[in-house]
Amino acid sequence: MPAETTALEAEIAKFDALAERWWDPDGPMAPLHRMNPLRCGWIAQRLAASEGRQGEDLSGLTLLDVGCGAGLASEGMARLGARVTGLDAAGTALEAARAHATRSGLEIDYRQGRPEELAAEGARFDAVIALEVIEHVADRGAFLAALASVTKPGGCVFLSTLNRTPKSFLFAKVGAEYLLRLLPRGTHDWKMFVTPAELGAEARKAGLRVTDIAGMTPKLGTKDWQASSDVSVNYIAAARKE
């Protein structure tokens, strides 16, 4: 599978340019900082349960964070005990990730590249996560196939993304980028947002069966996010490799 099938160079450059401010909780990645505890907790609970464990115990499990950027989710999962490999095509963002992990005393294996390249090396992981990534790739089907290829049989794949609805256009595109300026303009292309039905169908073609899905919504009056039944804007999904 050629590398170009799962990455858009313009998207890589866009997020590489944000590397220096990635860890600023009030900077351009502020929405991800606020969302990250929910994402990591939701994933950890389901991954631990799939291994017959209680709570969020990920001790010793191997996890690949695809499109890890500067490492927000990678660090969150490492703090829960997972042996994390962070993968991204953006080299400057990875430099920021390595520096922050060192300052935080965390051992995370950050690598520059794409999942299909790891698959060609024979790498396999207990779980693979790709958070706010699939809406930026060139070919969703090829991307999902690449995620499946680096997942052990029976392993878990977790994705979070944005639904393609009028509400998401209003809130995640116009509101977040142009009115409230929570994100840099041009962060998202609404036409590339993914409906849950599309994600489920494309995952099945890649040998992945969606087992759980939840909306991610802000808690009123706080900066925190919560899981909900409302998938009209942000949502997160769990899938198992068949």
**Rg (alpha carbons) of the chain, rounded to whole number:** 16
Q: Is 16 annotated as a binding residue?
A: no
Please list, in sequence order, all residues whose beta carbon lies within 8 angstroms of the beta carbon of residue 201, skipping any fewer than 6 positions away: none
Are 217 and 223 a contacting pair, CB within 8 Å?
Answer: no
- Supply the pLDDT for residue 172: 72
Residue 31 CB-half CA count within 13 A: 19
Of 161, 176, 138, the closest CA to residue 210 belongs to 161
In this structure, how many other beta carbons lie within 10 angstroms of the beta carbon of residue 153? 9
Please list, in sequence order, all residues whose beta carbon lies within 8 angstroms of the beta carbon of residue 118, skipping any fewer than 6 positions away: 64, 87, 111, 150
| ∠ Cα 80 84 89 (to 5°) | 135
- Supply the pLDDT for residue 135: 93
How many Å apart are CA 222 and CA 53, to the nearest integer? 31
Domain ranges of the chain: 3-241
How many Å apart are CA 56 and CA 46, to the nearest integer? 8
Q: Is 240 annotated as a binding residue?
A: no
Please list, in sequence order, all residues whose beta carbon lies within 8 angstroms of the beta carbon of residue 113, skipping any fewer than 6 positions away: 87, 89
Single-letter amino acid code for the residue at 62: T
CB neighbour burial string for 77-97, b if at least 16 within 10 angstroms, e if fewer: bbebbbbbbbbbbbebbbbbb
* Residues forming beta bridges with residue 157, ordered by sequence position: 128, 239
The angle, 0 to 180 degrees and rounded to 10, between the axes of the packed helices 91-104 and 9-16 is: 40
Of 169, 172, 88, the closest CA to residue 130 belongs to 88
How many Å apart are CA 170 and CA 179, to the nearest integer? 10
- Supply the pLDDT for residue 2: 36
Q: Which fold has domain 3-241?
A: Rossmann fold (3.40.50)
- Supply the pLDDT for residue 17: 61
SS3 for 163?
coil
Max Cα–Cα distance, the chain, nearest Å: 47
- Supply the pLDDT for residue 14: 58
- Supply the pLDDT for residue 55: 96
Beta strand pairing call for 151-162 and 125-131 = parallel
Q: Is 55 annotated as a binding residue?
A: no
Tens digit of pLDDT at every position of the chain (242 positions): 333 446 667 666 656 666 677 889 888 778 889 999 999 999 999 999 999 999 999 999 999 999 999 999 999 999 999 999 999 998 899 999 999 999 999 999 999 999 999 999 999 999 999 999 999 898 999 999 999 999 999 999 999 999 999 999 887 765 555 444 555 565 667 888 999 999 999 999 999 999 999 999 999 888 899 999 999 999 999 999 98
- Supply the pLDDT for residue 182: 54
Q: Is 230 annotated as a binding residue?
A: no
| Sheet strands (E) in the chain | 62-66, 83-88, 109-112, 125-131, 151-162, 208-218, 225-228, 234-241
Residue 161 CB-half CA count within 13 A: 29
